Every structure is written in C-alpha cells, then in structure tokens.
Structure 1
Amino acid sequence: MDYFPDRIAIEYAKGFTVEYHNNYKVVTVKEPESEQLYNYVLVQRGTPVPDLGIDAIVIEIPVKSIVALSTTHLPALEITGELEKLKAVNSFNTVNTPVVREMIDEGRIKELGSGMNTNTELIVSISPEIVMTTTTGVPDYDKHIKELSDLGLKPVINIEYKEPDPLGRAEWVKYISLFFNKEKEANAYFSNVSSLYNDLKSKTASVENKPTVMSGDTWQGIWYVPGGNSFVAQYLEDAGAIYFFSEDDHTASVPLDYEAVFDKGKDADYWVSSGMWDSLDEVVAVDPVYAKFKAVKDGNMYTNYFRVNEHGGNDYYESGIVRPEVVLADLVSIFHPELVQEHDLVYFKQLKPISGGNEE
C-alpha cells in the first residue's frame, strides 16, 4: 500500500532531498558549508520501520507534537495547518505570526531560548516528537543539537535561511509538510507563490533603466554586505536592479572595510538596508560619512524594518520567508513603481528625509 499519494517535487531548494517509498520517506538535509548530512526516515505511524543500514533519525508520521527553535518555521506550520501541534518556541518576543501570538497570550506554548541558551531540560519535560532547529556553523551555538540527541529527543535540521534563492527559501514549506503528510497543502501554496513571483520577475526582465543598488550595514566598524550569490542579490536582480556587489560569488554576507564599500556604493541610486533606522537623520548620526552616499543625499534609502512587533521582532525574517512574491513586489515598487501601481509596501519602508534639507 502506498501511504503517500501526495508527493512533493523540489524545484528551487538545494538544501534537502526526499525519496518516497510505500510506507516511509527518506529525507536528507545537506549543510552547504560543511556538507554534513542529516538523515531522517519518516515512517507512516503504525507500519514497520525499514532497516536501511544508514545513520538516520527515525520519526513516526504524521508528527503529533513539535518544538520550533526558529520563528522562521512558524509560517510553514500555519500554511500546512499544523500550528496546533506547536508546543514551544525559542523566543516569545520575536514571534509575529498572529495565531502563535494568541497561543503565547493564552499560555499554550513555552519559551525555550536558543543556541547555547536553549533550555534543553524544559524541552525534555515537554517531550515533543520532534525539535525543529537550525545550524549556524558556530560550535557553541550548535552544540544543543547533540545535547538534544543525547537526551533522547529528535532534532530536525531546517536551514531554509541558507538558500541563495528566494523561492528556494520559501520552498522549505514543502520540507516541513513531509513530517505531517501535508504535501498537498504545501504544493498548492508554493505553486501559487512561485507563479506570482515569476510573473512579476518576467515584467522586470525587459525594463531598460535598471538602477544600481547597494546593500549591507556596518557592525563594530566592519561593513557586511550580502554576497553576490546571496538571496538578497537575487531579489535585487529579479526586481530589475543592478546590485553593486554582483560580481562577488559568496552566498553569505561578506565583511569589507569602509573604503571598499564607499568606492563601489557611493554612486548607487538606492541603498537597501536591514538597519533598525527610521530616518536619515539617525543614519547620519551613527556616522556622518554616510551623508556622502548618493542614495542618502537623494533620500533613496530603505530598510526592511517596517513590519515589526512591539518587541522588535521583524516579520521580514518570519512571514517574509514564505512570501517572496510580496518581498519582490516591495522591491519592484521601489525601483519600478509603474509596474506595480496598486502595491503598498509591506516589509520595507523609506527612511524619512534629513531634517532641514540635505546641505553639502
């Protein structure tokens, strides 16, 4: 008997694979940096466990309870209709998903902390069937994964944030669906999202005037800019812009000194930031040298800190993961507003102009 009539096909995501068999699925997650493999054998509840001779965590499905150690996992649980099985999250303050906020207010889920501060004892007391977490490559942060295994729990690695393609990140909704036999729901959702995204992308492909865009911010004196093969760079390209660091081949952020960034970015038409600023006055107050950038002079600086809860939790990093078509529409609205005239910004905001005008 085939227990899985609804199956996924992976189109964009690079970090996971799945093989279907009659009563089980073999799911593999591959860490891009270390190339470490995490194997899971998902066995239909009540059917025999196969002897595959591989190092894998065996999980009965559909899963009845889950702990999520990243808010990025919450939207996919909502899309697949599985939020009621959520027993705990890493941080209450960072949560934006409305249903989960209600669950927090009603005392229905626990708060666990993350990384090296993860309360593994509390997780043991909750006894979830799986603990969905992520890897960073930082040993102190990732050590909780082995600790969870040693305590008899089943950590499940989800690294959607390491995908270099916006649609690849969103496609991890299919990954989460595998643990609940909700492939049908995930397929329907992603089909709609990818169609909307690609339709909008096709509209920007023929634009003649593509603005140059810089991105990134400073942290403790170092500039961190998205790599040329990052999801940010892909978003900007798909939005009909020219990314100022496009010739780079990194997928993660790249540390640079000020001179390198100023040389490439001083004449960029726009600056798309992840800074927690509200106005250009705040930007220049951090470092007066920012006023030398064309994007700041022209008032064309935007930040993704628009959809933020009362505790500072940024929904760009939560629902934005599974709504790439909306993120793209935001960016197209900034660079080519004539293409999306009815769209109001959802995740990005334009920083307020410098008070009193911008004098040289």
Structure 2
Amino acid sequence: MSKLFSLLTIASIAIASVSAQAPTSNLVDGACVTNYDASIDYFPQKLNTADDKGTFFSVSYHNNYKIVENNKSGRTYVLVQCGTPAPTGLTNVTEIYTIPVSKVAAMETTAVPYLELLGVAESIKVIADGSLISSPCFQTHLASGEVTNLSANNKTLQAEQVASVQAQFGINPYEPISNATVSTGQTYEPDVLGRASWISYYAAFYNYENMANEVSKKMVDNYQRLTTAASGYATKPIVAWTTFDAPSQYNNNTATYILSNASYKVGLTKDAGGIMLNSTKTKYGSAAELLEAISSVDVLIDETFIGSDLTDFLKNYEIASGQESKYKFLENKRVYREDGILTASGGYDWFEAPVAMADALLEDMINAVNPTAPSTSYKRNWLRNILLEEPIKYTTAENCTWVESSPRPNLATTYEGGAFNAAVSGASALSGSLIGAFVVSLASLAYLA
C-alpha cells in the first residue's frame, strides 16, 4: 500500500507543522467543525504506512476530506469532515460520506474485529447475521438490542435498516446494491500483514488514524520478532493445507481434493519456520492421488468443513485403519483444523479475529510447526489438533472479557525472547524447551484501562 500513498507521504513528513494548523476550537475529537477555514488541515493525524503490507487500498488527505480507494473493487470514497463543504469537480467518485461515522452496518463478519480493535464496535447498529459473529463481547452488544440482524425477507424493513446507518461495510447478502456499500477486500490480500493493515481502511471513516497506527506498529513489530525467532531451524518442517470438497452440485457431484497454495498461507508457513509443500498441482481427483503427494508432509492443516474429528478426517481422506504409519503427519500427530473457536451456530472465528490479528495468527502457526514454540505452555486459539483430541471452544456472551466500547485487546502476546529451538518431527516435539521468554503484552492490557 505504501506506493499508493503519494499524497500521504508528504503529509506524514509535515505532520508536526500540520498539527499546529488545526486548533481544538475548530475541531474537537468526534465533533463537527465550526467556523470552517479552507486553509486549515482538519486531519493532522494521518496513517503511517512505512511498514504497510496492504496492496488493495489507499488513502490520501486533503484539508477537509480524504479519498479512500479500494483498488480491488475499483471504488472510490470521499470522506468529508463534518461541518465542512464537500469538494466539487472530483471524478469517478463512488460515494461521499460525512465523517466521523457513528452508526454503521457490518454486512461481512470480517469487518467486526477491525472495528473492535479500534474501539468502535458499538457503532455497528445492523449486522447481516449476528449468529456467525464469534466475538463474545459483540454477542453481548447484540444481546443489548442496540444492534439488529438485517431482515432477510422483509425488503421494506431491510431498506429502513440500511437507511438508518451512515455507512455499510460489505455487501448486503440479500439485496446487493451497486454503489450503496463500502466494499471490503482484506481477505484478498496476498500477505498476512497486508490483511491486518485494513484496520487503517476502517479507521479513516472514524478519524481514528492514531489508534490504527498504534495497533499496526505493535502488531508489525511483534510479528517481525516472532518471524526472526522462527527463522533459524536447520530443518524446516513441510506443511500442507488441504481440503476435501465433497460431491455436490457445485463440482458435478464429484469429490475433489484440494492442495492450497494461497499466497498468504505460503507466507504464513514460511514466517512460522516451516516450508510449504512444493507442488504445482492443486486439484486431485481422488484421495489416493492426494495422499501420495502429501505422504511425507510433517504438518497437515485440514480445511474441510465436513467432519470435526479424527474419525471424520480418516473417512474424508479414505485412510483405512492400520494405514496411519504410511503418512508422516499422522505419525507426528500433527493434523490441525481451523475450527478451534466457533459460535454455537457454527460460525468460524478463523474468518474473523485472525484476519485482523496477524501476530496472533502467526503464534498459532508457529506452534503448529513446532509445538515447543513460542512457549512450551502456549495454547493455540484457532488451529486445533484432532489427533490430540483438542476440544472446540464455543464462544458465548458469558466469555466476554473486555468492554466493547473500548479497543479490543489483541489475542497475541508480546514475544521478547531469542531464537526458538529447532523444530522436531514426531511426538518428541511435544516436549523440550526454547530460548527466550514469553510475556503478556502490557500494551494489550492497557486497552482494558
């Protein structure tokens, strides 16, 4: 994203002098401008993109408005500071919004954790399907009655709900309307840190650039320390991400076996100290064909939705009893699923919090690659080992541990140690020690203050 911020670069360098140009008498935090002066820069705090990995959006600043471009959807949004005039003469503008927003709709579950990290989740007044949101504190917000589920069948009510908010993040699943939404794109990013960087995209609508900068810097710094600690293994475990796609109308009623080579998974695996299975083939017509390709894999991440335990896994992949020794990942007891945290209705937190919390996701992956790291006591959040019969954690409002009106603590802890011990294959990897220390992030705890 850095290369897309040509105007932002100049503005960031001049931030100190710009701050002096916006007196608090003209712009109080969260309030509209009074006594508008065209010469004043009303956005003294701008996004810091020095270490940004995002590729699909950009934000540029002008005295009283911002231009937000979603380069994935091709949409451009003009965000005008409340109390100031909208610009004229701009072309190819999708929508104009008055900011800061205070009432929004979240049509896609992935938007919620970003707004929680910013501390503005209570601005969500309409949600497409609250039962799929795994955040326990958002479930509390949902139970309060201050946020409603989008009507699926009553179009009149649905239109009223959409009209009641200032911005709609994501596409209405029941009535997609062109140019009536703030399009998203974080899950298309080819890099884990790039996905997390979308906190800046959302922050621009709230004038919360400072918060986004703070969260992003801590996350990037921690991610880099973890990556460095996991980079020195003499032998890097081989990892494969696979899916059993059961017969359905979408695949001509023919089972398909998929070996993923998604860019962000390749990068995440590498950053965790592993190496992705080197294969140019991604689709297989039979379980036997896939199993032949992955037989020597040390760590397997099963992304199949159908089946949640080892019995289901063996059935899906057609592995007969007594054949376990043929596959290294089974001998190593290293088969993981992404369903470690679910809602009661089956909503995956995997598609929510870890998308926004890159360093927390990396910690889970580090532990999947090397069970002694990042600490011997580390407990994974999302990657669940079915060979060790690890249970699914179901979230409810009773699990809420922070205040939804304040920034949500990142699930990551801050790593302050040295290199991890070499990753070891097999059951022996479940014991051992590491060099370094793992301490609770004081910054995360400070969010609760």
- SS of corresponding position for 1:4: coil
The residue number in structure 2 matching 1:66 is 104
Show structure 1 runs of 5+ residues with no match: 136-140, 249-253, 355-360
- SS of corresponding position for 2:48: coil
The residue number in structure 1 matching 2:46 is 7
8 Å Cα contact 1:280/1:353 also seen in 2: no
1:162, distance to aligned residue in structure 2 (A): 0.7
**2:75 is matched with which residue: 22, 38, 45?**
38
Question: In the aligned structure 1, how far is the partner of 2:361 from the partner of 2:154?
Answer: 34
1:91, distance to aligned residue in structure 2 (A): 1.1
Deviations 1:223-251 (A, max 9, x none): 23322x52112111111111114668xxx
1:346 is the counterpart of 2:366? no
- SS of corresponding position for 1:157: coil
1:131 is the counterpart of 2:168? yes
The residue number in structure 2 matching 1:303 is 337
The residue number in structure 1 matching 2:400 is none
The residue number in structure 2 matching 1:16 is 57
Deviations 1:45-102 (A, max 9, x none): 1111111133331010001210001111111111212122111111122111222201
TM-score (norm 1): 0.84
1:289 is the counterpart of 2:330? no
Question: In the aligned structure 2, how far is the partner of 1:349 from the partner of 1:85?
Answer: 33
8 Å Cα contact 1:213/1:270 also seen in 2: yes
How many percent identity over aligned positions? 24
TM-score (norm 2): 0.68
Distance 1:170 1:119, change over 3 A: farther
Question: In the aligned structure 1, how far is the partner of 2:153 from the partner of 2:44?
Answer: 37
Aligned AA (2:177): I
**2:290 is matched with which residue: 254, 261, 267?**
261
1:53 is the counterpart of 2:91? yes
- SS of corresponding position for 1:144: coil
Distance 1:256 1:245, change over 3 A: farther
8 Å Cα contact 1:214/1:245 also seen in 2: no
Aligned residues: 330
8 Å Cα contact 1:278/1:352 also seen in 2: no
1:328, distance to aligned residue in structure 2 (A): 1.0
1:206 is the counterpart of 2:232? yes
- SS of corresponding position for 2:87: coil
Structure 2 counterparts to residues 1-360 of structure 1, below 5 A: 1-10=40-49, 11-31=52-72, 36-51=73-88, 52-112=90-150, 121-126=156-161, 127=163, 128-134=165-171, 144-146=176-178, 149=179, 154-220=180-246, 221-227=255-261, 229-245=262-278, 254-258=282-286, 261-276=290-305, 277-289=307-319, 291=324, 293-341=327-375, 342-352=377-387
1:207, distance to aligned residue in structure 2 (A): 1.3
8 Å Cα contact 2:77/2:97 also seen in 1: yes
Show structure 2 runs of 5+ residues with no match: 1-39, 247-254, 390-449
The residue number in structure 2 matching 1:357 is none
8 Å Cα contact 1:307/1:315 also seen in 2: yes
| Structure number with larger C-alpha Rg | 2
1:108, distance to aligned residue in structure 2 (A): 2.0
The residue number in structure 1 matching 2:415 is none
1:297, distance to aligned residue in structure 2 (A): 4.2
Deviations 1:155-214 (A, max 9, x none): 100110111111111110110000000011111011111111111001112211101111
Aligned AA (1:167): L
- SS of corresponding position for 2:110: helix
Determine which structure has the larger helix proportion and give its number.
Answer: 1
8 Å Cα contact 2:240/2:260 also seen in 1: no
Aligned AA (2:315): A
